[in-house]
Amino acid sequence: MIKPDDLATLHIHRLIFHDVPKRVRGLEAVPVLSEIEATLDEDRIAHLKRRLVRVLGSKSAYDIHFRPDTQSPVPPLIRDYTKGKQHPDDFVPLSQKFAQFLFEQQGGASSSGVLSIMDTTVSGKRGLTVLKLEREEGAQLELSSKKGKRTFEMSVLDNLVLTEGTRLFKAALFVRTGPGDDDFSSGACDSQRPFGSTDELAQFWLRFLGCKLVEEARVATKKFFEAALLYVNDAITDPVEKTKVYDHVMSEMSSEKKTFAPRTFIEEYVPKAHRESFESFLKERQVSLKQFPLDTSEIVGRLRRRSYHTAKGAEVRVPEEEADIVRVQEESIIIADTVTRVDHK
């Protein structure tokens, strides 16, 4: 898992750009590959780093790891490049393989873009950063020549990244943490589409990277739901606040949203006095604070009814769709309904 403190140590050592068009049937197109890395510009590097840290540390970022069954060449390329000391000449051909594979995968529904590969370190550990930036159709990128070889210099970023109105569209960071093939901390973000969507394009970036989300959506959803209810029941003593937060948990879990962001939930629905302790509570139970796809398949039965337990041992259970018949006040609970039967258990 890549933490905000880790991202603060991100350092970009080498960088290269490739222009990767989409493949359209009946039209000839080929990627325009740089033959030499770009000259690092201190000001642009600093700005690019700030944007990368912002997007990879955002609520739209996900923890990922390599799929064992992937056919993508990206995982072995990353493993090999970060494993040992590399010769300086290895970087350019490595990046060209990324660009060529992206072009092969990029059909008519995808967007043309600029692919950037960066040799990076995070907390002194070796890594690679992969960035794809969408560009407008017909936009021309100016090639430069350096040592007799063509390259896109960092000035291509001026109209793609370094304006505040432009988003980084797809990004991924892989940091090697040990000698094993899967010893990586990795994160990815697609600011166009959430990875939890069933839309084919939403899965494109993960498929290109040969990765999947670290935690299945159904597991992440269940873990948050159970931890949130436990906190509400044990830590929030005010009955009105308790009911309000409970209502928000149930409403968010029952919504039609494709993704769920715990930090946004905390900011919007948890009383200010409880925000810090609730966040710590989630961390202690290994509940991700990053956005994850919402999948209630593991808790669907528990979303249908709601139970109220009083201080003197009374229990009230109501259908979720009829929850408005219960009104919780400081020292009382009022049920606006008619008794039809009394059961003894």
Residue 26 has φ and ψ, to the nearest 5°, of: 90, -10
Tell me which of 43-47, 57-61, 62-66, 147-151 is least confident: 57-61
Q: Is 60 exceeded by the pLDDT of residue 9?
A: yes
At 138-166, the pLDDT tens digits run: 556 788 888 889 999 888 887 665 555 45
> Does the CA dihedral 56-61-63-68 come out positive or negative?
negative
Q: Is 60 exceeded by the pLDDT of residue 167?
A: no
3 state SS of 69: coil
At 269-293, the pLDDT tens digits run: 999 999 999 999 999 988 888 888 8
Secondary structure element (H or E) that encloses residue 19, with its range: strand 11-20
pLDDT at 138: 53
Neighbours of 226 (CB within 10 A): 15
pLDDT at 231: 94
Domain residues of the chain, as ranges? 4-213, 217-335
Question: 198: pLDDT confidence band, cut at 50, 70 and 90?
Answer: very low
Q: What is the CA radius of gyration of the chain?
A: 25
pLDDT at 139: 58
Q: Is 90 exceeded by the pLDDT of residue 29?
A: no
pTM of the model: 0.69
15 versus 30: the higher-pLDDT residue is 15
Contacts of 288 (CB under 8 A, 6+ apart): 63, 215, 220, 223, 224, 262
Residue ranges of E strands in 214-258: none
Distance CA 220, CA 301 (A): 17
